[in-house]
Structure 1
Amino acid sequence: MLLSLVLHMYSLRCVLPAVVLLGTAPTYVLAWGAWRLLSALLPARFYQAVDDRLYCIYQSTVLFFFENYTGVQILLYGDLPKNKENIIYLANHQCTVDWIVANILAVRQSALGHVRYVLKDGLKWLPLYGCYFSQMYLVIFPEGTRYNPELTKVISASQAFAAQEGLPVLKHVLTPRVKATHVAFDSMKNYLDAVYDVTVAFEGTVDERGQRKEAPSMVEFLCKECPKIHIHIDRIDKKDVPEEQVYMRRWLHERFEIKDKLLIEFYDSLDPERRNRFPGKSVPSKLSLKKTLPSLLVLGGLTAGLLATEAGRKLYVKTWVYGTLIGCLWVGIKA
């Protein structure tokens, strides 16, 4: 009985983050909508500055749970970000936590409010946030779908395509697609400083036989089932990125060959000193509560105030219902 209770309580660790993050969503949307109306007659830079700040508050609240609440250890390797830059972030894609990892790096450069994503098309139908996510960019996962070792048909098809095209076959990543990267780079090259080529590995994703397992889901991550995230960063100056699509395609595949070699050593190395780590020196990076707790208190306080009155509760419910319907209608029209 006691063991059953302990296991039940453990499984509920993700409930608090889910309640807070979903529960504060209408508050965020209402704040954004009010500012959108108030700033209609102001120069665009004023709207953008506050919009970035609001977005930073919500994402900082997300990071409170994914870093401070879970107690995960972040280990950085390679070209550690120092100054805030305009970048395209290219990464391997394993699970739904990957977009959080992009935020983990951005907050350490004080650039969290400026992060935008190229995400899977289906995510535009998310309640309240879908229409917002569907317009974001900069963070790109060129594989197009998640690498899951259990989806052998997806991996086989990716490897067969690479072989057919005369490209090296990759083991721990899928063959990258160039279109989104090329469009983003071509559109933004006048404003870019660099491309961050990021390789991510979640510790604990190898079974007792040495076989790679599926990366942790958001629920598993929030239940503290991922002790460490290893993040390797290669900073590539924009002048070193080929602009023509045919050359960028080869360049992108070469970058994923480098990722694959890093992950082969991480997961498959016979040397225990080299397994579960990337080459070179690692730098532990702990996120201060000062970066996340104030945002949680502000957003939570505003939500509590909204729910404290009958009028506030009605507005809250209407925001959930009508905000979701309007968002779905908007992305449907834009599609």
Structure 2
Amino acid sequence: MLLSLVLHTYSMRYVLPAAVMLGTAPTYILAWLGWRLFSFFLPGARFYQEMDDRFYTIYQSMVLFFFENYTGVQIILYGDLPKHKENIIYLSNHQCTVDWIIADILAIRQNALGHVRYVLKNGLKWLPLYGWYFSQMYLVIFPEGTRYNPELTKVISASQIYAAEQGFAVLKHVLTPRVKATYVAFDCMKNYLDAVYDVTVAYEGTVDQMGKRKEAPSMTEFLCKECPKVHIHIDRIDKKDVPEEQLSMKRWLHDRFEIKDKLLTEFYDSPDSQRRNKFPGQSTNSKLSLKKTLPSLLFLGGLTASMLMTESGRKLYVKTWIYGTIIGCLLVGIKV
């Protein structure tokens, strides 16, 4: 009985972070809305944009408190992550929902967290409160279009057949990338971009005892501290080195994913145990200071607690969930 209780408690470690992240969302939306209304009376859009980025940074910093400080995960960086903020397109392999957080993990290390936006699967735009805002320049794209899951053999097989039909190399640890979102984003933003970040992510502990790759951790599993290390390889590619014509970009993008596949093959399948579970080259164990995340947690948590302590505050809180979701869905519908 005691063992069952301990195991149940262990598995529920995600409840606190999930409750705080979801529970503070209406507070964040209200604060943002108040600023949005106030900014109408200010000259120019610069003041609004600066505070909009700041609000977004506060919320995402709170999220990172749980994904880094709370879980104690080690973030191992390889390659080139410039210390200064840049306007970039972020291209990454896609394995699980935690991949969204990896973009934030890199952005906060460049003081660019308030500028992260995502190209989402269409259905994700309908997430209550979140979907509309997340679909709004650290532009994150997952060119595979869906997650790589080693258990979905039909998806992997179809991707490999498509690659062969296109005359491309068949990939083992990633899916064949689709170029459309990358091409459109680059074509629209090339005059403002500094670079493309080609990011390859591997979650340690995703190989079984037989050496077979397993599914990457879900957000729940990650928050339950079931991922000891995340390995992140970054290649910075200057925008002048990215082909602008669509067919050339298609070939270039596949070549980049072929590089990812070789990195992941080394990580998962290397016959040398000393080279397994790491990417080639020098690595840095990058620990995020509590100064970057804890103040945001205390700020949003305190505002939310204050609101919930009064009857009028609780009513406003519930109405924000309801009407915020409805208005967000309507705005998404208008955009579509």
> Does 2:4 match 1:4?
yes
| Residue matched to 2:128 | 127
Alignment of 1:103-252 (within 5 A): 103-135=104-136, 138-252=139-253
Deviation for aligned residue 1:134: 2.3
> Is the 1:85–1:193 Cα contact (8 Å) retained in structure 2?
yes
In structure 2, the gaps of 5 or more residues are none
> Does 2:299 match 1:291?
no
| Residue matched to 2:306 | 305
Deviation for aligned residue 1:133: 1.6
| Residue matched to 1:328 | 329
TM-score (norm 1): 0.99
SS where residue 174 of structure 1 aligns? coil
Across the two proteins, how many residue pairs are aligned to each other? 335
Give the Cα–Cα distance (whole angstroms) in 1 for the partners of residues 46 and 286 of structure 2.
33
| Residue matched to 1:41 | 41
| Residue matched to 2:69 | 68
> Is the 1:116–1:136 Cα contact (8 Å) retained in structure 2?
yes
SS where residue 138 of structure 1 aligns? strand
> Is the 1:204–1:226 Cα contact (8 Å) retained in structure 2?
yes
SS where residue 14 of structure 2 aligns? helix
> Is the 2:88–2:137 Cα contact (8 Å) retained in structure 1?
no
Deviation for aligned residue 1:170: 0.3
| Residue matched to 1:318 | 319
> Is the 1:121–1:134 Cα contact (8 Å) retained in structure 2?
no
Of all paired residues, the percent bearing the same amino acid is 82
After superposing on structure 2, the runs of 4+ consecutive aligned residues of structure 1 that deviate more than 3 Å are none
Deviation for aligned residue 1:137: 6.9
Give the Cα–Cα distance (whole angstroms) in 1 for the partners of residues 247 and 166 of structure 2.
13
> Is the 1:118–1:136 Cα contact (8 Å) retained in structure 2?
no
Equivalent position amino acid for 2:21 in 1: L
> Is the 2:143–2:177 Cα contact (8 Å) retained in structure 1?
yes
Equivalent position amino acid for 1:21 in 2: M
Give the Cα–Cα distance (whole angstroms) in 2 for the partners of residues 128 and 102 of structure 1.
20
> Is the 1:123–1:133 Cα contact (8 Å) retained in structure 2?
no
Equivalent position amino acid for 1:274 in 2: R
Give the Cα–Cα distance (whole angstroms) in 1 for the partners of residues 229 and 282 of structure 2.
15
CA RMSD of aligned residues (A): 0.9
Deviation string, structure 1 residues 256-286 (Cα, Å, up to 9, x no partner): 0000000000000010000000001110000
Give the Cα–Cα distance (whole angstroms) in 2 for the partners of residues 136 and 287 of structure 1.
22
Give the Cα–Cα distance (whole angstroms) in 1 for the partners of residues 69 and 54 of structure 2.
21
Equivalent position amino acid for 2:267 in 1: F
> Does 2:17 match 1:17?
yes
In structure 1, the gaps of 5 or more residues are none
Deviation for aligned residue 1:120: 1.1
Deviation for aligned residue 1:136: 8.6
Give the Cα–Cα distance (whole angstroms) in 2 for the partners of residues 85 and 77 of structure 1.
18
